[in-house]
């Protein structure tokens, strides 16, 4: 029996390890025979990979930490633990399932845990950490950086999961903490200076949920009540005395900014499902969340103005923002015949953002007028979609759809300065008609073709870049025979958004070819190539050296070629070797050097040609039926064609021991 | 009411593994030949139907999915004698079989209109009931690899230098997408995206993690609220820093802020920069140096603080 189970399990693990462009660790190699130990009525499986990573970086280390960020040291690269009751009637639990990755030292760590008793409860937990460095943009001045840790956790409990009446409870937490550098323009908004400021970033959101689920015959109702609490207090303080504008004499000797921002979002959510016979299914969903957040801001800056005069400025702001969101949708599915499905979906969404703010500024002891602001932005959308799916034969599938959507946008901008008041009200409605056609063909069992085309027309796009007259075409061919998988895909998205004195067009074309093959237990291969082309041409207007220029275009061209290949060999069932290579290269429009136009502030064609590649190799040696020793190496190279400021080369590696049963 | 609800499953505490007159033979008959499947089936979530013994024969064990096995047993095996053999089923039939039990969940509420269903990607395209590589959700492969199998271009995007950390394991496709289909997006007006998992409030999924960008702010950047984060960012990955859609910030901003009539809140054009800006000076090419609160501000309508 063990032999029968081992082969497919091994093949599955091999194909799983190959299809992605993974990081070199954790290993993911199988160990030994079919696993599991029986203990006290439970079957226990365990896998535990402990190892150390190491790395060296040449070039821009901040960029490496932004893109890759693996460091040195010991960590639990990956682990799994499962306990299953053999009869499905355990005492305190029937199943425990624990998965972890990178615990202890990796920049990307997660763990998930499920504990359940088939009859009484189910508990799910997800926990994640992401250490992230944001080195700022590679265009000067580039002072916005962050070195923060984000942490997410979700806990969900279901009581009585096997019964028609269930209780639900949950808790989530999302936090971001760390340090950052920001900039702020001080004393003179246009001619002044921008100063780098130190930020102590501290944001967190907690959510509590309580609910119930009731099923009666073919009806099921889910009700959920929840509360969110958001808190942010990321004080800014002076990081340096000199500003970023070398041509300006403004100095800053003291600065402090405190802006606590917090609020609650109580919400209701309801879902109703129903069926009638074998020809109808309905789903109705409603949610309402009413957010209110309060803020206060106090800023104090002391320095000298650009003319050398002593200057100080204080600024106070306080107010409240509200954001009620109502969302409802209704879906009805009809099955008039076995081969026909018709679905109609209606969605309503309304969001209203209101804000009141009082702003006061004191400059050089002179108190300016209180400024009272009221802002409203309301968006209400209605969407109705009908889809029909017809399968007249096993080898043929046809689909068609039509959607109408209407969106009303209202805004109010009101301001009171002293005794003077001003108010602007705007309202507009945008409508979109879109249609979809699709065909699926399967002339022989291993070969499938899929084609789809969506066309849409918008009467009043909101932005210059929005979709107006657009079409999206996709085609895919897939051949799957045994362990051989070949696929090819193409997708195009074209949009033209032009009015009398303005034009915008975008064309994107994606092509992909992939192959995956596992001909033998000891050999597997996976490779792919993709090309993503994008060109956008947009009319722009701006000021340069006091001159207003409004007849120019912004042209962006990107041609991204990506490829990956990976091969895995198993030698004598004891040593696994894998080699992989991944490369992404943007060739721009093919030019070799950045050419600035003589009369424009930017190049005629915006491009950012660069290459990012990463070869890797791994050796995994089975020392024992339950133990493996692993070594891996992965190289990262980032190289821009026009500038070396952000370039880096990194050597990373790991050594680990994998123990499993 | 609670007692009434509890009463029903508690009454039948023994698995109905015995034959009856409707063609159901019980799972005990199956394990005689299919010992390889049965030996690990207790780890499968579907085993609950046997362990709890609360359901009728047509909803219990092997026959709940594969149908009554009497004919199969009498024929001494053979795929064609299995009433519901998934490897022989058209995609639509496989979907209907699974949805007989699994339709009434929030995450699968839109499955009938999802792009996967429309392209005949049925449940068993991604889930392996008897040989799952991932025990949770019975996935046939590790989740990211499943998606990459068809979505080739997504693999390329996540290999770019600036991306969400999917290959590294920090983010999963299902954090932002629902492979079972989603309601109509509130931040876009076309048929796409169909598979982006909205929040329960119908908003874009970015706001679930990036809670600081959600607001409300007194001064909202309307582009974000009306057209979504994708206006400026490529959510899978980008060759440009911060996953921006353009390599230079100021051209990204200027492509909207060009004053072209007919666009923006007022439809008089999205505001131009003022004449004090000199784009020939590099100082003015990174707009967020001064407009630091570009996602929304409580203190300044131009997002300066």
Q: What is the 3-state secondary structure (H, E, C) of A552-621?
A: EEEEEEEEEEEEEEEEEEEECCCEEEEEEEEEEEECCCCCCCCCECCCCCCECCECCCEEEEEEEEEEEE
Q: Which residues of B touch A562 (CB under 8 A)?
A: 155-156, 159-160
Tell me if residue A161 falls in helix, strand or coil: coil
| Residue A509: Cβ within 10 Å count | 16
Of A198, A115, A119, A181, residue with least CA distance to A146: A181
Tell me if residue A142 falls in helix, strand or coil: coil
Decide: residue B31, CB within 10 A, 0-12 exposed, 13-18 middle, 19+ buried.
Answer: middle
Say if residue A95's pLDDT is above 70: yes
B278 → closest Cβ in A341, A544, A558 = A544
User: What is d(CA A449, CA A479) in angstroms, rounded to the nearest whole number?
Assistant: 9
For position A143, what pLDDT does the model report?
66
- Of A198-212, B107-121, B286-300, which one has max mean pLDDT? A198-212
CB contact under 8 Å between B167 and A22, yes or no, is: yes
Question: Tokens in use for A299?
Answer: 């800023």
For position A29, what pLDDT does the model report?
59
Asked if A50 and A657 touch (Cβ cutoff 8 Å), the reply is yes
Q: Smallest CA–CA separation between A183 and chain B, in Å? A: 6
Q: Which residues of A touch B301 (CB under 8 A)?
A: 373, 375, 413
Asked if B64 and B17 touch (Cβ cutoff 8 Å), the reply is no
DSSP secondary structure letters along A364-400:
TTEEPPPEEEEEEEEEEEEEEEEEEEEEEETTEEEEE
| Mean of pLDDT values over A501-507 | 90
User: What is d(CA A57, CA A48) in angstroms, rounded to the nearest whole number?
Assistant: 29
Cis peptide bond prior to B193, omega within 30° of 0: yes
| Partners of A204 in the β-ladder | A175, A231
Q: pLDDT for A125-137, tens place per residue?
A: 999 999 988 887 6
Q: Smallest CA–CA separation between B73 and chain A, in Å? A: 22
Asked if B27 and B60 touch (Cβ cutoff 8 Å), the reply is yes
Q: Smallest CA–CA separation between B136 and chain A, in Å? A: 8
Tell me if residue A62 falls in helix, strand or coil: helix
Which run of H or of E encompasses A526? strand A523-544
CB contact under 8 Å between B169 and A638, yes or no, is: no
Residue B104 neighbours by CB under 8 Å, 6+ apart:
A215, A220, A273
Say if residue A429's pLDDT is above 60: yes
User: What is d(CA A546, CA A540) in angstroms, rounded to the nearest whole number?
Assistant: 16
Asked if A504 and A498 touch (Cβ cutoff 8 Å), the reply is yes
CB contact under 8 Å between A405 and B184, yes or no, is: yes
User: What is d(CA A200, CA A306) in angstroms, rounded to the nearest whole number?
Assistant: 29
DSSP secondary structure letters along chain B:
-HHHHHHHHHH--S---S--TTS---HHHHHHH-HHHHTTGGGSGGGHHHHH--S-GGGSHHHHHH---HHHHHTT--GGGSTT-TTTS-HHHHHHHHHHHHSSSGGGTTGGGSHHHHTT--HHHHB-SSS-SBTGGGBSS-HHHHHHHH-HHHHHHHTSSEE-STTTTSS-HHHHB-TT--PPPSS--SS--SSB---TTS--THHHH-GGGS---SEE-HHHHHH-GGGTB-SSEESSGGGBSSSSHHHHHHTT-S--TT-SSSSS-SPPPPTT--TTSGGGS-GGGT---TTEESS-TTS--
φ/ψ of B156, rounded to 5, equals -65, -40
Q: Smallest CA–CA separation between B71 and chain A, in Å? A: 24
User: What is d(CA B161, CA A587) in angstroms, rounded to the nearest whole number?
Assistant: 15
Q: Which residue of B has its CA nearest to A451?
A: B119
User: What is d(CA B242, CA B232) in angstroms, rounded to the nearest whole number?
Assistant: 10
Mean pLDDT is lowest, of A185-194, A277-286, A569-578, for: A185-194
In chain A, what is the greatest distance between 2 CA atoms, to the nearest angstrom?
Answer: 88
Tell me if residue A247 falls in helix, strand or coil: coil
Higher model confidence: residue A33 or residue A257? A257
A574: contact with B, CB 8 A cutoff: no
Cis peptide bond prior to A141, omega within 30° of 0: yes
The bridge status of strand A610-624 relative to strand B237-238 is unpaired
Q: Which residues of B touch A257 (CB under 8 A)?
A: 305
Question: Tokens in use for A402?
Answer: 């039509």
Overall size of chain B counted in residues: 305
Say if residue A210's pLDDT is above 70: yes
Under the banding of pLDDT at 50, 70 and 90, the label for residue A140 is low
For position A447, what pLDDT does the model report?
94
Name residues 318-347 of chain A within 8 A of B (Cβ). 319, 321-323, 325, 327, 329, 331, 333, 338-339, 341, 343, 345, 347
Cis peptide bond prior to A26, omega within 30° of 0: yes
Q: Smallest CA–CA separation between B20 and chain A, in Å? A: 23
Asked if B148 and B155 touch (Cβ cutoff 8 Å), the reply is yes
Higher model confidence: residue A297 or residue A661? A297
Backbone Cα Rg of chain B: 27
Of A154, A171, A166, A163, residue with least CA distance to A114: A154
Q: pLDDT for A336-349, tens place per residue?
A: 988 899 999 999 99
CB contact under 8 Å between A584 and B51, yes or no, is: no
Q: Smallest CA–CA separation between B285 and chain A, in Å? A: 8
Residue where the block lists tokens 């008041």? A421
Tell me if residue A37 falls in helix, strand or coil: strand
Q: Report the residue of A29, A173, A257, A542 to disrupt the B interface, i.e. the one with the largest count of B CBs within 10 Å.
A: A542
Q: pLDDT for B230-272, tens place per residue?
A: 999 999 999 998 899 998 888 899 999 999 988 999 988 999 9
| Mean of pLDDT values over A197-206 | 92
Chain A / chain B CB contacts < 8 angstroms: 496
For position A187, what pLDDT does the model report?
79
| Residue A74: Cβ within 10 Å count | 12
| Mean of pLDDT values over A557-578 | 93
Q: What is the mean pLDDT of chain A?
A: 88
| Mean of pLDDT values over B172-187 | 90
Mean pLDDT is lowest, of A27-31, A552-556, B122-126, for: A27-31
For position A9, what pLDDT does the model report?
38
Q: pLDDT for A582-629, tens place per residue?
A: 999 999 988 777 766 655 667 778 888 999 999 999 999 999 888 999
Q: Smallest CA–CA separation between A310 and chain B, in Å? A: 22
B256 → closest Cβ in A343, A452, A465 = A465
Q: pLDDT for A38-64, tens place per residue?
A: 888 899 999 999 999 999 999 998 899
What DSSP state is assigned to residue A54?
A: E
Under the banding of pLDDT at 50, 70 and 90, the label for residue A419 is confident
* Intra-chain end-to-end CA distance of chain B, in Å: 56
Overall size of chain A counted in residues: 661
Q: pLDDT for B209-219, tens place per residue?
A: 999 999 899 99
A295: contact with B, CB 8 A cutoff: yes
**Which percentage of chain B shows pLDDT scores above 90?**
38
Strands (E), A277-395: 280-304, 310-337, 340-363, 366-367, 371-393
φ/ψ of B214, rounded to 5, equals -80, -30
| Residue A610: Cβ within 10 Å count | 24
Decide: residue A573, CB within 10 A, 0-12 exposed, 13-18 middle, 19+ buried.
Answer: exposed
CB contact under 8 Å between A205 and B226, yes or no, is: no
Under the banding of pLDDT at 50, 70 and 90, the label for residue A368 is confident
Residue A203 neighbours by CB under 8 Å, 6+ apart:
A175, A176, A177, A230, A231, A232, A234, B211, B212
Please give the C-alpha separations between residue A491 and each of A35, A171, A450, A512, B305, in angstroms, as whole numbers: 43, 40, 11, 9, 41
Under the banding of pLDDT at 50, 70 and 90, the label for residue B305 is confident
Of A456, A330, A217, A277, residue with least CA distance to B113: A330
Of B81, B90, B92, residue with least CA distance to B23: B81
| Residue A54: Cβ within 10 Å count | 14
Question: Tokens in use for A542?
Answer: 């701006």
For position A189, what pLDDT does the model report?
65
For position B17, what pLDDT does the model report?
43
User: What is d(CA A431, CA A382) in angstroms, rounded to the nearest whole number?
Assistant: 10
* 3-state helix, strand and coil shares in percent for chain A, rounded to the nearest 5: 5, 70, 25
User: What is d(CA B225, CA A351) in angstroms, rounded to the nearest whole number?
Assistant: 9
Say if residue A244's pLDDT is above 50: yes
Under the banding of pLDDT at 50, 70 and 90, the label for residue A462 is very high
CB contact under 8 Å between A607 and B247, yes or no, is: yes
A436 → closest Cβ in B191, B215, B258 = B191
Of A554, A185, A136, residue with least CA distance to B253: A554
For position A596, what pLDDT does the model report?
64
């Amino acid at each position: 029996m063990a032999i029968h189970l081992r082969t497919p399990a091994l093949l599955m693990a091999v194909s799983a390890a190959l299809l992605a462009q993974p990081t070199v660790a954790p290993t993911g190699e199988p160990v030994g025979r079919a696993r599991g130990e029986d203990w006290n009525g439970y079957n226990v499986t365990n896998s535990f990979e402990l190892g150390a990573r190491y790395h060296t970086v040449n070039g821009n280390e901040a960029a490496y930490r932004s893109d890759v960020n693996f460091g040195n040291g010991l960590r639990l690269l990956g682990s799994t633990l499962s306990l299953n009751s053999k009869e499905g009637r355990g005492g305190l639990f029937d199943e425990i399932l624990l998965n972890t990755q990178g615990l202890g030292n990796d920049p990307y760590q997660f763990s998930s845990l499920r504990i359940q008793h088939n009859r009484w409860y189910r508990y799910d937990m997800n926990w994640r950490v992401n250490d992230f460095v944001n080195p700022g943009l590679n265009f000067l001045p580039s002072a916005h950086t962050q070195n923060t840790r984000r942490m997410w956790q979700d806990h969900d409990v279901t009581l009585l999961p096997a019964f028609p009446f269930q209780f639900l409870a949950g808790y989530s937490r999302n936090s971001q903490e760390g340090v950052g550098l920001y900039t702020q323009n001080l004393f003179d908004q246009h001619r002044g200076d921008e100063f780098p400021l130190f930020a102590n970033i501290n944001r967190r959101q907690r959510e509590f949920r309580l609910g119930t689920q009731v099923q009666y015959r073919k009806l099921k109702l889910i009700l959920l009540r929840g509360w969110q609490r958001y808190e942010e207090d990321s004080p800014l303080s002076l990081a340096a005395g000199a500003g970023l504008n070398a041509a300006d004499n403004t100095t800053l000797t003291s600065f402090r900014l405190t802006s606590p921002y917090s609020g609650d979002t109580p919400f209701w959510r309801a879902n109703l499902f129903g069926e009638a016979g074998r020809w109808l299914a309905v789903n109705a969903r409603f949610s309402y969340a009413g957010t209110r957040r309060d803020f206060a801001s106090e800023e104090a800056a002391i320095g000298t103005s650009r003319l050398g005069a002593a200057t100080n400025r204080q600024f106070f702001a306080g107010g409240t923002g509200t954001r009620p969101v109502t969302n409802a949708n209704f879906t009805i599915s009809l099955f008039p015949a076995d081969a026909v499905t018709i679905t109609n979906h209606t969605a309503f969404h309304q969001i209203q953002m209101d804000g009141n703010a009082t702003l006061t500024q004191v400059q050089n002891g002179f108190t300016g007028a209180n400024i009272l602001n009221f802002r409203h932005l309301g968006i209400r959308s209605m969407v109705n979609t009908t889809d029909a799916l017809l399968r007249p034969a096993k080898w043929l599938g046809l689909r068609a759809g039509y959607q109408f959507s209407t969106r009303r946008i209202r805004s109010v901008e009101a301001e009171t300065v002293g005794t003077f008041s001003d108010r602007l009200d705007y309202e507009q409605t945008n409508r979109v008609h879109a249609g979809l056609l699709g065909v699926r063909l399967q002339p022989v069992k291993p070969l499938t073709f899929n084609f789809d085309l969506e066309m849409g027309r918008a009467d009043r796009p909101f932005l210059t870049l929005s979709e107006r007259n657009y079409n999206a075409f996709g085609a895919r061919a897939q051949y799957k025979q045994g362990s051989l998988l070949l696929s090819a895909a193409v997708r195009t998205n074209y949009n033209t958004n032009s009015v009398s004195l303005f034009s915008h067009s975008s064309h994107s074309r994606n092509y992909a070819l992939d192959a995956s093959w596992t001909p033998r237990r000891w050999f597997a291969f996976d490779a792919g190539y993709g090309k993503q082309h994008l060109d956008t041409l947009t009319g722009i207007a701006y000021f340069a050296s006091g001159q207003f220029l409004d007849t120019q275009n912004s042209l962006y061209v990107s041609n991204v070629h990506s490829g990956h290949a990976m091969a895995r060999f198993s030698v004598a069932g004891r040593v696994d070797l894998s080699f992989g290579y991944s490369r992404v290269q943007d060739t721009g429009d093919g030019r070799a050097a950045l050419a600035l136009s003589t009369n424009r502030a930017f190049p005629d064609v915006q491009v950012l040609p660069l290459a990012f590649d990463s070869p890797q190799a791994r050796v995994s040696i089975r020392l024992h039926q339950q133990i493996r020793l692993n070594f891996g190496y992965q190289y990262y190279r980032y190289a821009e064609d026009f500038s070396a400021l952000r370039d880096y080369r990194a050597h990373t590696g790991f050594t680990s021991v994998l123990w499993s049963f | 009411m609670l007692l009434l609800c509890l009463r029903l499953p508690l009454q039948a505490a023994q698995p109905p593994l015995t034959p009856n007159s409707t063609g159901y033979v019980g799972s005990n008959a199956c394990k005689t030949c299919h010992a390889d499947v049965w030996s690990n089936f207790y780890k499968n979530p579907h085993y609950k139907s046997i362990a709890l013994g609360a359901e009728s024969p047509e909803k219990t064990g092997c026959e709940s999915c594969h149908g009554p096995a009497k004919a199969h047993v009498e024929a001494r095996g053979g795929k064609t004698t299995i009433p519901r053999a998934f490897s022989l089923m058209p995609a639509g039939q496989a979907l209907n079989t699974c949805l007989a039990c699994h339709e009434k969940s929030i995450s699968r509420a839109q499955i009938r209109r999802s792009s996967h269903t429309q392209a005949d990607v049925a449940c068993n395209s991604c889930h392996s009931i008897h040989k799952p590589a991932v025990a949770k959700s019975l996935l046939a492969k590790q989740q990211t690899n499943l998606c990459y199998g068809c979505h080739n271009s997504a693999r390329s995007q996540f290999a770019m230098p600036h991306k969400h950390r999917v290959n590294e394991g920090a983010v999963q496709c299902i954090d932002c997408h629902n492979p079972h289909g989603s309601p109509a997006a509130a931040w876009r007006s076309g048929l796409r995206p169909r598979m982006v998992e909205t929040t329960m409030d119908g908003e874009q999924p970015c706001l679930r993690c990036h809670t600081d960008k959600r607001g409300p702010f007194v001064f909202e950047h309307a582009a974000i609220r009306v057209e979504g984060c994708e206006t400026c960012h490529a959510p899978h990955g980008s060759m440009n820093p911060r996953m921006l859609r353009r390599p230079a910030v100021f051209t990204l901003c200027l492509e909207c802020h060009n004053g072209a009539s007919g666009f923006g809140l007022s439809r008089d054009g999205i505001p131009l920069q003022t004449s004090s800006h000199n784009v020939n000076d590099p100082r003015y090419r990174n707009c967020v140096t001064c407009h630091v609160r570009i996602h929304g501000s409580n203190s300044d309508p131009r997002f300066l603080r």
